[in-house]
Amino acid sequence: MSKVRVLVGTKKGAFICTADGKRTNWNIEGPYFGGWEMYHLKGSPADPNVIYASQSSSWFGQVIQRSDDGGKTWNTPGSTEEERMTMFGFPGGESNKFVYDGLAGTHKTFDGTEVPWVFKRVWHLEPSFDDPHTVLAGVEDAALFKSSNGGKTWEEISGLRKHTTGKDWQPGAGGMCLHTILVDPKNPNRIYVAISAAGAFRSDDGGATWKPINKGLISNFMPDPDAEVGHCVHRIAFHPSNPERLFMQKHWDVMRSDNAGDEWVEVSGNLPSDFGFPIDVHAHEPETIYVVPIKSDAEHFVPDGKLRVYRSRTGGNEWEPLTNGLPQRDCYVNVLREAMAVDRLDDCGIYFGTTSGEVYVSPDGGDHWSPIGEHFPSVLSVEVQTLP
C-alpha cells in the first residue's frame, strides 16, 4: 500500500510525519535540527530516500543538510568523516558556501538607495526530476544556485541576477528572496522562478538567459502600471501535464497565465480576499487549484476568524470555501508560501501548515480536514513525498 512522508520545516526545527494511504494515523519524528529555522525540506523525485534541507539561523548562517535514508540520519554534504578520508572527497564546509558569481554589485532597498548583494539564506530547494545529486537553490538576496554533486558545492546560475533589471530589484517585507523554482518536466531547459519583490522570470535555455514575465500584473504600490519588475509575487504553481498554464498568488490578486507567463489575467473571482501566500494544484485535476486567503497585507491572518482553504475547479474565478474540520471561529493564523503541498495518491491529499504550528491534511482533495499535529513551532514549509 502506498504511503506518504510529510516534511515539515518550522522556525525551531524540522519534523517528519508518515502515514499509510489512508492518512489518518500519523507517526511524527523530530525535531531535527532543533532550534534552527528550517526554511525548506524537499525530497528527490529520482530517489525519495534523498532529502535536502535548508537549515538557517541569524546567528550561525546557512547550513545545507542531506539525508540519504529518508530522513532517519542527516549529514552536511561532503563533511562526513568517511567522505573526508577519501581521495576524491570534497573539502568539508563547502556545502554551506553560497558565493555570488563575480562582483556581486548592488540592488535597491526599501528607501530606494543601493545596497550590496549579500547572501542570507536558502529559501527553497528544488531537486532534479532525474538525478538525485542535482538540486537548485533559491536564496536571499535573490539568486539561483545549482549543485550537481549532492549539495557538496554550489555555483550561481548568474544570468538571472545579472539581468539588466537586477539593479532595480528590492526586497519585500520578508527579504529579497527567490522562493519559487519550477522546472518544466517536458522541457528541463525551461525554468520559472519568482522573487519578492522583483516578480516572475523565465529561462528557456537552462538558466543562461532570463526574461521578466510580469505583463498583466498590477501592483498598487508602484505608480507605473506597466512596470516590468518590482511585483511582489508570493507563489507560482503549475500542473506537470500542462506546464504552460501557471497559477500565481501575488501580494494581492490570484492570477493565471495560459502562455508560460507571457501574459497574466486575474482570477480572484469571489474570494473573500485575494491576498495570500501559497497556491497549489490538485495532483490529477489540472484546473483544480487551492489558496488560503489572508485578510490583508496589513493583517496577516485569515478573515473573520475562520480558517478556510478555497478551491477552484475551473482554474480560478469560481471559488468554494473548504471548512470541514478546520477552525471556524477565533482563528487568526497565517499560512506561508512554502507551507502547502499535495500528494499524488489516487485520492489526492492536500496539506498545509500554519504560523501557529498546526499541520492539516485532507485525504480527499479538500472536502475533509484533520490535524497531523497541532503544536509544532510556527510552520515555514510543508512538502510531501508519495512513496510506494
Region of 86-94, 139-147, 183-191, 363-371 interacting with other proteins (CB under 8 A): 86-94
Is 247 in a helix, a strand, or coil? strand
According to the binding rule CB under 8 A, does residue 188 interact with other proteins? no
Select from 22, 24, 91, 296 the one that contacts other proteins (CB under 8 A): 91
For other proteins, which is the closer residue by CB, 4 or 379? 379
Question: In the complex, what is the shortest distance from the CB of residue 77 to other proteins, in angstroms, rounded to a whole number?
Answer: 10
Region of 94-102, 107-115, 200-208, 213-221 interacting with other proteins (CB under 8 A): 94-102
Interacting residues with other proteins between 42 and 71 (CB under 8 A): 57-63
Select from 20, 22, 93, 129 the one that contacts other proteins (CB under 8 A): 93
Angle at 353 between CA 347 and CA 354, to 5 degrees: 145
**Can you tell me the distance from the alpha carbon of 116 to that of 104, in angstroms, rounded to the nearest whole number?**
7
Q: Which residues contact 21 (CB under 8 A, 6 or more apart)?
A: 1, 2, 3, 4, 345
Q: Which residues pair with 116 in a beta bridge?
A: 106
Count Cβ neighbours within 10 Å for each residue of 77-108 and write b for 16 or more, e otherwise: bbbeeeeeeeeeebebebbbebebeeebeebb
Q: What is the DSSP string of 98-130?
A: ---SS---EEE-TTS-EEE----EEEEEEE-SS
Question: In the complex, what is the shortest distance from the CB of residue 59 to other proteins, in angstroms, rounded to a whole number?
Answer: 4
Question: In the complex, what is the shortest distance from the CB of residue 355 to other proteins, in angstroms, rounded to a whole number?
Answer: 16
According to the binding rule CB under 8 A, does residue 99 interact with other proteins? yes
Main-chain phi, psi angles of 278, to 5 degrees: -85, 160
For other proteins, which is the closer residue by CB, 62 or 180? 62
Question: In the complex, what is the shortest distance from the CB of residue 208 to other proteins, in angstroms, rounded to a whole number?
Answer: 25
For other proteins, which is the closer residue by CB, 83 or 263? 83
Select from 79, 128, 170, 362 the one that contacts other proteins (CB under 8 A): 79
Question: In the complex, what is the shortest distance from the CB of residue 96 to other proteins, in angstroms, rounded to a whole number?
Answer: 5
Q: For the chain, how long is the longest CA-to-CA vector?
A: 62
For other proteins, which is the closer residue by CB, 154 or 290? 154
Question: In the complex, what is the shortest distance from the CB of residue 133 to other proteins, in angstroms, rounded to a whole number?
Answer: 19
Over its C-alpha atoms, the chain yields an Rg (Å, rounded) of: 20
Are 41 and 52 contacting, i.e. CB atoms less than 8 angstroms apart? yes
Continuous segment of H or E residues that includes residue 238? strand 233-239
Is 305 in a helix, a strand, or coil? helix
According to the binding rule CB under 8 A, does residue 72 interact with other proteins? no
Size of the site for other proteins (CB under 8 A): 19
The site string for other proteins over 1-40 (x = CB under 8 A, - otherwise) reads ----------------------------------xx----
- 247: which 3 cell numbers? 497559477
Residues in the chain: 388
Question: In the complex, what is the shortest distance from the CB of residue 304 to other proteins, in angstroms, rounded to a whole number?
Answer: 31
Select from 10, 44, 76, 385 the one that contacts other proteins (CB under 8 A): 76
Are 54 and 121 contacting, i.e. CB atoms less than 8 angstroms apart? yes
**Can you tell me the distance from the alpha carbon of 147 to that of 157, in angstroms, rounded to the nearest whole number?**
10
Select from 97, 186, 215, 368 the one that contacts other proteins (CB under 8 A): 97
In the 3-class helix/strand/coil scheme, how is 338-354 assigned residue by residue? ECEEECCCCCCCEEEEC
Q: Is the peptide bond between 304 and the residue preceding it cis, with omega within 30 degrees of 0? A: no
According to the binding rule CB under 8 A, does residue 105 interact with other proteins? no
For other proteins, which is the closer residue by CB, 174 or 325? 174
Question: In the complex, what is the shortest distance from the CB of residue 81 to other proteins, in angstroms, rounded to a whole number?
Answer: 10
Q: Which residues bind to other proteins, rule: CB under 8 A?
A: 35-36, 57-63, 76, 79, 84, 91-94, 96-97, 99
